[in-house]
Structure 1
Amino acid sequence: MTSLHEVARQTLALVDLTRLETDDTEADIESLCRKAGTSFGPVAAVCVYPRFVATARRALAGADPAEEVRIATVVNFPRGEDDAETVVEAIRAALAAGADEIDLVFPWRELRAGNDEPGRRLVSAAREACGEHVLKVILETGELTEADLIRRAARIAIESGADFLKTSTGKVPVNATPEAARILLEAIRDSGRDVGCKVSGGIRTTRQAREYLGLAARIMGPDWISPSHFRFGASGLLDDLMATLGDSQAPAPDKDAY
């Protein structure tokens, strides 16, 4: 079994370090961006609300190009109930402010009610608005609950142009689970398309990360795992990774989780 130290080093480069609280301030986002460039290397991205994209861009300016941290933001978030026009306007504004990646909430309530078309229309419109920028589609798997619904959402998102399938917003009672991640990874494998997977919500320890990495390696192969294909959306995971790697300034790992 891969050691926790090795897992922590691999996971660090896959993290979308996330701050999505309604009372966030510019100072909070600046602090997040400072954390993103760790002594063991940078995370993959920071993920912030659209109003803070420009703040993140300023905070990350001047970083070594070899250690670039991408900027992700969310649209149709968190409820997934905006119309396509509103979503497209939000995407265009976020990209103009400096976003590199867009995390879009899928209209999962419509799918759960038996209607596939709103999801197809919304993801297709978002794909066009994103152009060459990365589009991650948040399926809210914990609210879809049934494996068949999760598979259908995954298939719709892939066929409509998603670059990544993402489990969750982190704003519902059930977020990322190994079972949901397995379904998304199998859908990606079976599609034959170059699509990534982002597990998000409730992942706080290196040991949890190891479970998801093992799952991805079994389904997609270990060489597939890289920031261009696999991400962890997390706010608390970084502290545990740093502690596992031996950063004396980081909080100690939560032993109860082990």
Structure 2
Amino acid sequence: MTLEANNRQIASLALSLLDLTDLTDDCTPEAIEALCAKARTSHGPVAAICIWPRFVRQARGILGTQSPVRIATVVNFPSGDLPVEQVVGETQAALADGADEIDLVIPYKAFKAGDEAAVRSMIRAVRAACPAPALLKTILETGQLQDKALIRRACEIAIEEGADFIKTSTGKVTVNATLEAADVMLTTIRGSGKRVGFKPAGGVRTVPEARLYLNLAATILGPDWPMPSTFRFGASGLLGDILATLDGRESATPAAAY
């Protein structure tokens, strides 16, 4: 991807990087059926769907075992406050039901209070319960951490403990993905020298907004870096604008504020 890519090129790339998400509190089996159908578009599939653990088995039944659309689910979500043993149990059950990817909320409140060990022990235990080829994404809840140094330290710990991705947010708090947090996270990935992915989640609704994150990633980590194995968008509303752009229609999606 070049920084001069046109909107259609950005939209096509963003489609391939999208974790199409339904983590609404009132999600239903019918909504999961619709989500699985939406994930396979006329312009190609999204990277994954991201859903509550209770729907993983249903989604696997719909998508089958050979689908290009991966199934991601969330654990310790959204509070980050559950005991390690319970989160490990959630993880094991989700993988047994057919999940490909685990999005883990770190105990960010304990971390903000100074307890780094809580974060390390949580990630280490879930990583052990989530062996390759399953992916482990760690949700840092950067809008709650706020401080750049604290965000950087959370990234460093997650990377040291074997996370495959670092993810901004649950989408359940006031401040979710921001370019400021993304800058810190991508720079920390570069400094680690490891192949770790990045996932902005919550608030990315339009192709122009997606471009900002892709350009930032390309600037910090190289133009060929954003790909499904290293970059995902966690979004429920972005797909509509992607498809409008690819279809040559005018978007009805309002721009999100940063």
TM-score norm. by structure 2 comes to 0.95
Deviations 1:48-96 (A, max 9, x none): 000000111111127xx4x610000000000000111001000000000
Deviations 1:115-172 (A, max 9, x none): 1100000000010000111000000000000000000100011101100000000000
Paired with 2:204 and 2:241, the residues of 1 have a C-alpha distance of 10
Paired with 1:50 and 1:116, the residues of 2 have a C-alpha distance of 27
| Alpha-carbon offset, residue 46 of structure 1 | 0.3
The answer to whether residue 49 in structure 2 is matched with residue 46 in structure 1 is: yes
Q: Is the 8 A contact 2:39 2:49 kept in 1?
A: yes
| Alpha-carbon offset, residue 223 of structure 1 | 1.2
| Alpha-carbon offset, residue 254 of structure 1 | 3.2
Task: Sort the Cα spacing of 1:255 and 1:195 in 2 relative to 1 into closer, same or farther, 3 A.
Answer: closer
Partner of 2:114: 114
Partner of 2:255: 257
Partner of 1:216: 217
**1:238 partner amino acid:** L
Equivalent residue of 2:99, what SS?
coil
Partner of 1:178: 179
Paired residues, what number?
252
Partner of 2:194: 193
Equivalent residue of 2:176, what SS?
coil
The answer to whether residue 34 in structure 2 is matched with residue 8 in structure 1 is: no
Q: Is the 8 A contact 2:206 2:253 kept in 1?
A: no
Q: Which structure 2 residues correspond to residues 146-185 of structure 1 after superposition, within 5 A? A: 146-185=147-186
**2:101 partner amino acid:** E
**1:245 partner amino acid:** L
Paired with 1:255 and 1:96, the residues of 2 have a C-alpha distance of 37
Paired with 1:22 and 1:13, the residues of 2 have a C-alpha distance of 26
| Alpha-carbon offset, residue 21 of structure 1 | 1.0
| Alpha-carbon offset, residue 208 of structure 1 | 0.2
**1:253 partner amino acid:** S
Deviations 1:16-71 (A, max 9, x none): 00000111111100100000000000000000000000111111127xx4x61000
Partner of 1:71: 71
| Alpha-carbon offset, residue 233 of structure 1 | 0.3
Partner of 1:37: 40
Equivalent residue of 1:228, what SS?
coil
Partner of 1:123: 123
Equivalent residue of 1:161, what SS?
coil
Q: Among all aligned residue pairs of Structure 1 and Structure 2, give the percentage whose two residues are the same amino acid.
A: 55
Q: Is the 8 A contact 2:17 2:227 kept in 1?
A: yes
Return structure 1 stretches of 4+ with deviation > 2 angstroms.
Answer: 254-258
Equivalent residue of 1:200, what SS?
coil
Equivalent residue of 1:109, what SS?
helix
| Alpha-carbon offset, residue 114 of structure 1 | 1.1
RMSD: 1.3
Task: Sort the Cα spacing of 1:3 and 1:81 in 2 relative to 1 into closer, same or farther, 3 A.
Answer: same
Equivalent residue of 1:154, what SS?
helix
Partner of 1:204: 205
| Alpha-carbon offset, residue 256 of structure 1 | 5.0
| Alpha-carbon offset, residue 257 of structure 1 | 2.7
The answer to whether residue 137 in structure 2 is matched with residue 136 in structure 1 is: yes
